[in-house]
A and B are shown apart, each in its own frame.
Chain A
């Protein structure tokens, strides 16, 4: 089944604006608040997440449709119970891989991401990407190649949406540094409130798609 341009566009627009992983589906809040203090590190974190999400989408779809739903293996019903376990395995390895590579190639970024890099492992946004549209894209109407293609798009746009939210939040928080905030609201409380306001603003995109 071929997709039309409208459908592609709806997928992209939806993932970046209306169903933004952070602001609408509330996935991946830990790095969202953790790495959004400086715009530079927000961009780095966003790129790492885009990379992990895309690769994780591709690999998990290959495993799910190519292996678990493979006609010769279908009788074991692995798709029904083995998906999350195997996906976590894939994601964890990918994050480890990114960490090793970053440490070598971009030590400065590695340092500024700090603890949040390994946390991508447990970033529910990544697991969410692999799970949310899994059964829809794995339907028999799509060929394996098509399913992988769609899932990878889902990963890329989901990652871009995450990066956008993270970057905007970092911009807001850089300005919060100069704001007059009551003592008890300083730091995380005001960050969560600003995050909520941003989520409300993004809610305004509902109805576009």
Chain B
């Protein structure tokens, strides 16, 4: 095992609930609500009108900028209306409501038989990824084609696939690695080709030894162009910067991006989607989502169409609304709690966790025990941020590297005083950004 980042926590992973459930196709509902903001960056712009007939895989929204992604119809049917829906993170966003006609017809040119012997050029791959509207499938939802087009002065020599899945409860990536290791590895090969990278790794946590074996075997069969790396179980092992360090022993500099360390990290789900986009011409219209937690009687991993209301798959899993105290979209460490079970599944929704014992804690004062400092994977001092945040002195945190915080939540998890440290950090970051904008506006005024 390689040397990994310092800090980290060991929450119990609860993966036993759903890790043995093979991926099943969730039934496609009668009506799908496809949000136009499923990625970081500018929302996509709808390019269909009410009443239009759409086929599966047809573009229904064009990217709204460079950092944005196209959105495709997940079914064939009719556009019922253009509406608004809630995003798991809270904002309201535009959405296209599509009535399913049950035919599931692919649009022209989509869904071809994959020819795995075919070679693609770097440009072709990036263009296919952009066309397919692929975003970071681990939950960050950063448009992948942007990651694949670094500025020319940055040389990327290492591609890392993130099969760590360090969030408790979630097993979507694990199941995907077990069930279709071949597509993942081919996706990685495409990624390696994009950058002409020398090294390629797939990082997998030690609590998924079977996935590691399967991937290792598949790589060996394919000629060993990449290395599967077994990593110790530690949250947040799957965070980009921490994974880069674990695989390459390189550190991403303060304020920098992974490309500054010559690395590009992609989720295994993203690699699968890239394979589908490039070889099969299938745009991103479905994803694997884990439905788990003690609030559902049958935890499961579903292959579910984008835009399916969460309610339908929750009910499929025997969701008990009375027992559930907190419903989390994403993993319990970084996901968002939500009150609405009608929320549509989007490209980044790696799981839905129904928690039954989500106590609301009353936090106490910081006792300066330093546990958060011990566990911080970014090497920061979270207690300071929490103290300044509590006092409303948000701007004081600028001098102590708050922008390097990755908001993994390890500090909040470990805090014996139950302090909501990450929330204060988020407020401070937002206030600092506002202050910076204000300063920039003032500077522009002076000119």
Contacts and interface: CB of A to CB of B under 8 A. Distances in A.
A and B physically associate? yes
A180 B387 CA distance: 10
B393 A178 contact: yes
Interface string B8-23: 0000000000000000
Nearest to B384: A178
Contact of A180 (B365, B388, B393): B365
A74 interface: no
A178 B365 contact: no
8 contacts: A177-B391, A177-B393, A178-B387, A178-B388, A178-B390, A178-B391, A178-B393, A180-B365
Contacts of A178: 387-388, 390-391, 393
A177 B396 CA distance: 11
Interface string A172-187: 0000011010000000
Nearest to A180: B365
Interface residues of A, number: 3
A178 B381 CA distance: 15
Instruction: Give chain B's interface residue range (CB within 8 Å of chain A).
Output: under 10
Nearest to A175: B387
Contacts, number: 8
A180 B363 CA distance: 14
Nearest to B365: A180
Nearest to B387: A178
B306 to A, nearest CB: 45
Interface string B363-399: 0010000000000000000000001101101000000
Contacts of B391: 177-178
Contacts of B388: 178
B387 to A, nearest CB: 5
A180 B365 CA distance: 8
A142 to B, nearest CB: 49
Contacts of A180: 365
Contacts of A177: 391, 393
A177 B393 CA distance: 10
Nearest to B386: A178
Given A178-B390, A178-B391, A178-B393, 5 more contacts: A177-B391, A177-B393, A178-B387, A178-B388, A180-B365
A180 B367 CA distance: 11
